[in-house]
A and B are shown apart, each in its own frame.
Chain A
Amino acid sequence: MKLSKEAHDVLETSMRQNHVSHKDRAEINAVVEMLPEDRVLLYKNVVSNPLGDIYRYSIHIRIQHMLTFVTFLTLAFTGLPIHFFEAFWAEPFNNLLGGVGITRVIHRTIAVVMIFSMIYHVFTITFGSLARIRAKKFDIRRTIIPLWKDIRDFRADLHYFAGKRTQRPEMDKFNYKQKLHYFAAAFGNGVMVLSGSSFLFPDIWAMILPASIASHWQELMRLSHPHEALLALLVIAFWHWYNVHLAPGRFPMQWTFLTGKITREHQMEEHFLEYLRNLVELPAERKALQDVLESRELVPESLSMTGEPAPGHKGA
């Protein structure tokens, strides 16, 4: 496979950062060369362990996801019956928990856990990034920070969905959807904490803010809390669950949130650039890939030992 300039740059950066030896470099280049031009063919034929092949999320991130998962749903299902107190469905919800008084206590308590989860996450990514910078292994393309490439990827993906492209774009460790979702959640959490604290400590907020905006702030926060909550719930229900459960290739679910590992198939399809880095960092993965390519007869004709043309290659 002839790598694109972008992919080539990612691979080179990774090899430089990992101080790859000449021998390994040759091995990596050889295995990359063996890849078929058609990446669709590659991920469709690859064998994956359902529980995941390639390490992706640390235990901290998994704990944070679990905390967010539990607190988000608990907060939503305690907050909605408080806000829509008079709705017919709110009463059984509140009664189930022991009355609206108890629902409120649960809501606030879980909110503290959610804030803890946020702080824990900020610490994790800050110190994780600092450690990478210190070890000279930091690559901004590998982080969740949005880049122009994400817009290009989004456009290319739309073209692919519209049938105008044969392959999905070469996306990085976090693709445009994940970045959008991450920052939407981060923004939403921020709004919920600010607005929730405005309800709990209205006098403190009024003291901090200038008199001209103190009242507007309170009103905006009172609007924001339920609106943001509903929006978040709908986004989770319609988008996050779609992307992790219903989207083609993801149905019915993935185990990454528990195992921290992504399947080889998924990594190749949606995070190809990260897969290239995996080839640099994980010698075992090079071997596994080589085995797959050879056993599925996906190696290009020029490199194939059998001499038979491999499908998906130009001139095949």
Chain B
Amino acid sequence: MLTIRWVLLLCGWLSVNALAAETAEHLPAQAFQDSEGCLLCHKYPRMARITEDGVLRKYFIQPEVFARTVHRNVPCRDCHTEINELPHKPVKIGVTCNTECHSVKNPATGKPFSHKPIYDAFRESVHGRSKVAEGTDADKPYCVTCHTNPLYNPQEAMPPPKITDRCVLCHEDRTFVNRWYNHTSRRIREVRRTPEQIVALCSTCHDDQRVIERHLAKAKAEGREMGRKYPLAVESYYESFHGKMVKYGFNAAANCLDCHADQVNYYKSVHEIRPSRDPASPVSKERRVNTCKRCHTYADQNYAQLDPHPTSTREGNMFRYFAEKIYNIVGYVVIAALLGLSLFETIGRRRDGVGWRLTHGSSWWRKSKRGRKRII
């Protein structure tokens, strides 16, 4: 298998040399500066392989697309640190998000820029895992699971000329100005997902029965206890008022992160979600009331008892299960009884029912025919 890969890489390398000059002419003016020559190989659409697991992995880079990503100014090897020679050997770990950039400096500290602080917070969380994870850890999200780095943000399509017209007077290059504007204003604008998107994102794992079963089985084997609502998190959320409201498109209702992430430093705390049994979790017994109070002004200890993930299964909530059963029985009995009574009355009164009224007149609209002669 290893040999095949080497052959592939070699072929790639040879074709790179043959076509390098031609391709360079076709690169758009805004393409990123490929100072390390990675595109020599990675510009080819067929640069790919099928892994041992049967997954097709593409190594093709479109420079004009990469030039639109947030990492466009970062040279490849700042992140792909394992690559030290050309053609390079197969990578084992790949890009980890806690790598320190060699080329990009943090303008505030002058140190190499890195996502390490947020990465460390993530590693501490219940979701924390390493880049290469095995077993149930592989089910957990890594940075790129959530940070999909969309190429197109409609809010960034057209920076307001009223502002950028001014910048461009000295900074000359409008492309640079537009990018700079979007970069600096992005965090001023609200760029987090909508509540619906957040729930959908969390649901990709928390509503996946295979993932749930794997984690439950592992916890059982290790003698660990999982949260009571863990297997029903998404289903029960949609049963709740919060879930319904979010489904209806109301952004004010609580989504997963509103309760499970600390609001003090939201953007950091969403990376360090903890299980509810951890006292540091905003939904732990100790902190739950304050979390509820953020929206429900008069929330107290009693209020914190309300189940935000209501279920009606017998195991999950016996009270609700039987209440629902009784309600259904009462409903059916009442309707059947009333229908039965109406039917009985109609049949029982055939002798003076609708037919009789039609023959002898009714006192609905005008004087009845009954004024004419006596009915015996």
Determine whether the beta carbon of B364 is less than 8 Å from that of A254. yes
Interface residues in A20-50 by Cβ distance below 8 A to B read 40-41, 44-50
Inter-chain contact A242/B374, CB cutoff 8 Å:
no
Q: Is the CB of A223 within 8 A of B320?
A: yes
State in angstroms the CA–CA spacing of A47 and B363 once bound together: 8
Could you say which of A207, A220, A246, A298 contacts B303, with CB atoms under 8 Å apart? Answer: A207
* A249 B357 Cβ-Cβ under 8 A: yes
Q: Which of B298, B348, B367, B374 contacts A45 (CB 8 A)?
A: B374
Which of B241, B299, B341, B366 has the most CB atoms of chain A within a 10 A radius of its CB?
Answer: B341
Q: What residue in chain B is nearest A264 (Cβ atoms)?
A: B363
User: Is the beta-carbon distance between B353 and A214 smaller than 8 angstroms?
Assistant: no
A248 in contact with B353 (CB, 8 Å): yes
Asked if B197 CB lies within 8 Å of chain A CBs, one says no
Q: Bound state CA distance, A297 and B250, in angstroms?
A: 73
Smallest Cβ distance from B82 to chain A, in angstroms? 49
B212 CB to closest chain A CB (Å) equals 23
Contact A206 B354 (CB under 8 A): no
Contact of B327 among A45, A85, A227 (CB under 8 A): A227
**Chain B: interface residue count, which band?**
35 or more
For the complex formed, measure the closest distance between the CB of A115 and the CB atoms of chain B, giving whole angstroms. 21
Main secondary structure of the interface of A (DSSP, over half): helix
Asked whether B371 is an interface residue with its Cβ less than 8 Å from the other chain, the reply is yes
Q: What separation, in Å, do the CA atoms of A162 and B340 have in the docked complex?
A: 13
Is B346 interfacial (CB 8 A cutoff)? yes
Given the complex of chains A and B, what is the CA–CA distance between A224 and B347 in angstroms?
34
Chain B hits for A45, CB < 8 A: 370, 374-375
> How many angstroms between the C-alpha atoms of A251 and B330 in the bound complex?
30
On whether A161 and B302 interact (CB within 8 A), knowing A219-B307, A223-B320, the answer reads no
Interface segment among B5-13, B73-81, B216-224, B331-339: the answer is B331-339
Contact between chains at A247 and B345 (CB < 8 Å): yes
A231 lies within 8 A of chain B by Cβ? yes
B248 touches A101 (CB 8 A): yes
What residues of B have a CB within 8 angstroms of the CB of A252 in the complex? 364
A248/B354 in contact, CB under 8 A:
yes
Q: Indicate whether B128 reaches chain A with its CB closer than 8 angstroms.
A: no
A203 interface neighbour in B249, B303, B352, B360, Cβ under 8 Å:
B303
| A161, A162, A246, A296 — most chain B CB neighbours (10 Å) | A161
**Of A6-14, A69-77, A232-240, A279-287, which binds chain B?**
A232-240
Neighbouring A residues of B347 by C-beta, 8 Å? 161
Q: How far is the CB of B31 from chain A (nearest CB, A)?
A: 45
Bound form: Cα–Cα A101–B247 in Å: 12
- Chain A residues contacting B307 (CB-CB under 8 Å) are 215, 218-219
CB of B305 within 8 Å of the partner chain: yes
The A-contacting residues of B in range 342-376, CB under 8 angstroms, are 342, 344-349, 352-354, 356-357, 360, 362-368, 370-371, 374-376
CA distance A100 to B247 in the complex (A): 11
* Known contacts A100-B249, A251-B357, A297-B374, A161 near B344 by CB under 8 Å: yes
Q: Contact: B363 with A265, CB < 8 Å?
A: yes
Q: Is A211 among interface residues, defined by CB-CB distance under 8 A?
A: yes
Known contacts A211-B305, A219-B310, A248-B353: A203-B296 contact under CB 8 Å: yes
Interface residues in A234-275 (C-beta closer than 8 Å to B): 234-235, 238-239, 242-243, 246-249, 251-254, 263, 265-266
Contact B317 A219 (CB under 8 A): yes
Cα A265 to Cα B369 in complex, Å, equals 13
CB under 8 Å from chain A, chain B span 260-318: 292, 296-303, 305-307, 310, 317
Are the C-beta atoms of B344 and A203 separated by less than 8 Å?
Answer: no
Question: A47-B371, A206-B300, A249-B352 are contacts. A242–B366 as well, Cβ < 8 Å?
Answer: no
Contacts of B360 in A (CB 8 A): 44
Q: Which residues of B contact A204 (CB under 8 A)?
A: 298
| A216 (CB) vs chain B CBs: closest residue | B319
B330 to chain A: which residues have CB within 8 Å?
A: 231
Of chain A, the residue at the smallest CB distance from B247 is: A85
* Contact in complex: A161, B364 (CB < 8 Å): no
Query: How far apart are B34's CB and chain A's nearest CB, in angstroms?
Result: 50
Taken together as a complex, chains A and B put the C-alpha atoms of A227 and B303 apart, in Å, by 24
Smallest CB–CB gap between B235 and chain A, Å?
14
Min C-beta distance of A278 to chain B, whole Å: 16
Measured CB to CB, the nearest residue on chain A to B362 is: A251
A89 within 8 A of B: no
Q: Is the CB of A238 within 8 A of B357?
A: no
Chain A neighbourhood of B302, CB < 8 A? 206-207, 209-211, 214
List B residues 197-248 near A (Cβ within 8 Å). 241, 244, 247-248
Q: List which A150-176 residues lie within 8 A (CB) of chain B.
A: 158, 160-163
Pair A203/B299 contact, Cβ less than 8 Å: yes
Question: A199 on the interface (CB 8 Å rule)?
Answer: yes
Task: Check B86 for interface membership: any CB of A closer than 8 A.
Answer: no
Whether B348 and A160, one on each chain, are in contact in the complex, defined by CB atoms closer than 8 angstroms, is: yes
Q: Which residues of B contact A239 (CB under 8 A)?
A: 338-339, 341-342
- CA separation between A13 and B352, bound complex, in Å? 33
Task: Say yes or no for A196: interface residue by CB 8 A criterion.
Answer: no
11 sample A-B contacts, Cβ–Cβ < 8 Å, listed by A number: A41-B375, A48-B363, A50-B367, A163-B348, A203-B292, A222-B310, A231-B334, A238-B335, A239-B339, A249-B357, A252-B364
New A-B pairs, 11, CB < 8 Å, besides A50-B367, A161-B349, A218-B307 = A50-B366, A85-B248, A161-B348, A163-B348, A203-B292, A206-B306, A214-B302, A227-B331, A231-B331, A251-B362, A296-B374
Question: What 6 pairs across the A-B complex have the smallest Cβ distances?
Answer: A161-B348, A206-B303, A48-B363, A248-B353, A203-B298, A206-B302
